[in-house]
């Protein structure tokens, strides 16, 4: 992911070149602007596909199989959507696909009865193994995603069928990435600080993210929502001619949402 690449680059070179900090921030801003655009395209394509399928069904219901409109087919579509957003890296997108595929095959009598007896317990075992591997990897590289306090300049939080709370203490905060699939994240940024413009990429699929930000930050939302949205609960503040701290939120909410608060 691009945030991880920038984190590694920042650690390797910030003490080796003069004025690296300013050039790093400018390059990161251009990179996020460049690669943030496909989010809108992909979200638009999803809406177009849904509209076309629905239109065809209205014209002639025989054109579209009944299972297309079932909840388990939606799970498969969500998994593919999230996987495409992340170039099919990580493993969170696989879970809704597996669950949806299982119930799709069950309801269409594709799986033999003998297999059905062992499918659910086997799936639970595999899910447990996945959670353990994910937790071990996050602990090694990110000091464990379940930690309540972090001084990392760049955050990377992934929750699948779970939740976490994080308080960021960094005074040189660079932003980061949050992914929630059937889970949630509470992120407290009231003790964090930065100058200029930073970016956060938030992906919610049947999940939610709550952000608590300082009142003097300007927050711009550039997310794509499919049956989801962003709820900005911050009090209205007087507009500033030249805000010194701008947080830009990009990403996608599919049957999920983002709550933004400040005190």
- Averaged over successive runs of 10 residues, the pLDDT of the chain (263 residues) comes to 49 51 54 48 69 74 73 81 70 77 82 74 76 55 51 83 85 88 87 89 86 88 81 74 81 84 82
Looking at residue 89, its pLDDT comes to 66
Number of domains comprising the chain? 1
Question: Is residue 114 domain-resident?
Answer: no
Question: Is residue 210 domain-resident?
Answer: yes
Question: Is residue 38 domain-resident?
Answer: no
Looking at residue 2, its pLDDT comes to 45
The single residue listed with the structure tokens 């407290």 is 188
Q: At what angle do helices 71-85 and 20-59 cross, to 10 degrees?
A: 150
Question: Is residue 165 domain-resident?
Answer: yes
- Give every CB contact of residue 20 below 8 A, 6+ residues apart in sequence: 13, 14
Q: At what angle do helices 20-59 and 2-13 cross, to 10 degrees?
A: 180
Question: Is residue 48 domain-resident?
Answer: no
First to last CA, the chain: 32
Question: Is the overall model pTM greater than 0.85, yes or no?
Answer: no
Question: Is residue 98 domain-resident?
Answer: no
What range defines the domain where residue 169 resides? 142-261
Question: Is residue 212 domain-resident?
Answer: yes
């Amino acid at each position: 992911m691009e945030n991880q690449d920038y984190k590694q680059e920042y650690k390797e070179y910030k003490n080796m070149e003069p004025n690296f900090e300013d050039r790093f921030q400018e390059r990161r801003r251009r990179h996020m602007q460049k690669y943030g655009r496909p989010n809108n395209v992909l979200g638009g394509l999803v809406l177009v596909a849904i509209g076309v399928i629905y239109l065809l069904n209205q014209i002639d219901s025989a054109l579209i199989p009944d299972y297309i409109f079932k909840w388990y087919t939606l799970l498969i579509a969500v998994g593919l959507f999230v996987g495409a957003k992340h170039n099919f890296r990580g493993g969170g997108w696989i879970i809704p696909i597996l669950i949806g595929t299982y119930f799709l095959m069950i309801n269409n009598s594709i799986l033999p009865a003998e297999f059905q007896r062992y499918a659910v317990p086997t799936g639970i075992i595999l899910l447990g193994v996945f959670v353990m591997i994910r937790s071990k990897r996050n602990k090694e590289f990110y000091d464990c995603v379940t930690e309540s306090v972090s001084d990392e300049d760049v955050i990377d939080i992934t929750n699948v069928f779970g939740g976490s709370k994080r308080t960021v203490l960094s005074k040189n905060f660079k932003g980061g990435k949050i992914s929630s699939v059937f889970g949630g994240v509470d992120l407290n940024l009231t003790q964090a600080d930065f100058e200029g413009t930073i970016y956060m990429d938030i992906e919610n699929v049947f999940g939610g993210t709550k952000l608590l930000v300082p009142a003097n930050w300007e927050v711009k939302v550039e997310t794509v929502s499919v049956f989801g949205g962003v709820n900005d609960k911050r009090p209205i503040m007087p507009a500033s001619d030249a805000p010194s701290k701008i947080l830009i939120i990009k990403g996608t909410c599919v049957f999920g949402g983002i709550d933004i608060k400040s005190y």
